[in-house]
Structure 1
Amino acid sequence: MDQKALKKLVESISKTVRSFKKSEIECLIRLFHSLVKGTDGRLNKIGLDRSAFQDILHSIFGMTDDMLMDRVFFAFDKDNDSRINVNEWVKGLSVFLRGTFEEKLKFCFEVYYLNGDGYISREEIFDMLKNSLHQQSSEEEADEGIKELVEITMKKMDYDNDGKISFADFERAVKDDRLLLEVFGPCLPEAQKCLDFEVLAFRNILTSGF
């Protein structure tokens, strides 16, 4: 790995990601490099595809919900090129590992609006709840129960009564009750998993060149 290119990339990312020290950013870049397995030095031109990223979410962060892992991928993939590049990797992990409440709130909302229109619809809530609830009853009975949960959720979160949940609705509801942050399914890793990851990623930080 070209040290000059690495240092330049660290400097660039550090201007937009404030939650990591430069030495930590370097470690995350090196980890990214090892995960994608092979580069010609153009560290910002390669990336993790959806399958590789979901493997990381599952093996490192303990996530198991395929639908939500898919949505987390799209939340990381800011330029929508179906690959997570090194900049997106570090920025996404900054939310995972050290994000403020506001950053995590925005991240969860972005995961939950499935069609990309900036609103969470009744249909999306139904699909997410159905995906996360593994009930033993028949599918018809389960669907009726989920429809009731959807209506309860709408009454609690749709403050402007327009039949969908905007970011303003979501923000207000979560600030009133922080347990609602991941109301439609776990899309953030558990705190212990984050700590374990930091130990893995930053264990050689004392040997960093920064």
Structure 2
Amino acid sequence: MTMNKLDATLDDVQNTRFGNIYHDLIKQMAKTTQFTEGEVSSILMVYHKFVLANGSKAKHMTKKQFFHLFLVLFKIFDLQIIERILLHITLDMKKEVDAVAWVRLFSVFMTNKLDQKIKFTFQIYNIHGNGFLNREIVQHAVEKFFVGEDEDEVNELRSDMVDLLFKKFDVDKDGVISFDDYSQVVMKQPMLLEFLGQCFPSIIGTTVIALCANIMSKVNFDKPCS
């Protein structure tokens, strides 16, 4: 695959440097994701430009850039969810985001497989990593949905919503929402996928980044705008 003309905004030296840096990773990620080598190259070129913005000696995207991308382009404003997504794709909370994590992120965001989206979203919500969502987790998420000056009214609305969600999602009525509970409900009603907060970009944000990364064929236009 020829790399030296991949991006017209970079000179030949920069294009060649990109090829030298990412050649092996492109082949690796094309084997382990739904993307072709050309698509991985385009995704990594976007990543590479974030890296270049950090100076000639930079090697990675920063967490600040990552958060900014979510807040401005993806329109995901829950900082805890962004942190959980970062932890999920990097497996730690380092100050930088490497290229593998970047491709892994797009592999999840661009999938059309509902079961993969369900698995990803539940992992983001499951902050304790114990395989279920208890009332404390759901209550914490619901608190962000209701605000107002009348504290008693707000608390009542939050409590009612928690009860409603458990009535819907606690399929086996054991007092917690397990992955199986959540999966059963969402497989029947996909609109409930992000019931505790947005984890995927809006279709507008996805389209913009897909255009930049030249992976429009991977955008699922059936997903409603968030």
Q: Partners in 2 of 1:142 and 1:161 — Cα distance? A: 26
Q: Trace 1:28-177 onto structure 2 (pairs within 5 A).
A: 28-36=43-51, 37-38=54-55, 46-49=60-63, 51-77=64-90, 79-82=91-94, 83-131=96-144, 133-177=145-189
The size of the alignment, in residue pairs, is 196
Q: Partners in 2 of 1:2 and 1:33 — Cα distance? A: 8
CA RMSD of aligned residues (A): 2.2
Stretches of structure 1 that go unaligned for 5 or more consecutive residues are: 204-210
How much does 1:17 deviate?
A: 0.7
TM-score, normalising length: structure 1: 0.83
CA contact (8 A) 1:33 1:39 kept: no
Q: Partners in 2 of 1:161 and 1:39 — Cα distance? A: 56
Q: Percent identity?
A: 24
Structure 1 residues 185 and 2, CA gap change in structure 2 (3 angstroms): closer
How much does 1:182 deviate?
A: 0.8
2:25 aligned counterpart, secondary structure: helix
Q: Deviations over 1:94-117 (max 9, x none)?
A: 211234111111111111112222
How much does 1:56 deviate?
A: 0.9
CA contact (8 A) 2:108 2:117 kept: yes
Which letter does structure 2 place at the counterpart of 1:3?
A: G
How much does 1:137 deviate?
A: 4.2
TM-score, normalising length: structure 2: 0.78
How much does 1:152 deviate?
A: 1.4
1:15 aligned counterpart, secondary structure: helix
Greater shift, 90-99 or 122-131, is seen at: 90-99
**Is structure 2 residue 38 aligned with structure 1 residue 23?**
yes
Q: Partners in 2 of 1:93 and 1:99 — Cα distance? A: 12
Q: Deviations over 1:155-180 (max 9, x none)?
A: 21112222111111110011122221
Q: Deviations over 1:44-95 (max 9, x none)?
A: xx4532x321111112212222232222222322x22434321121111121
2:211 maps to 199
2:24 aligned counterpart, secondary structure: helix
**Is structure 2 residue 20 aligned with structure 1 residue 14?**
no
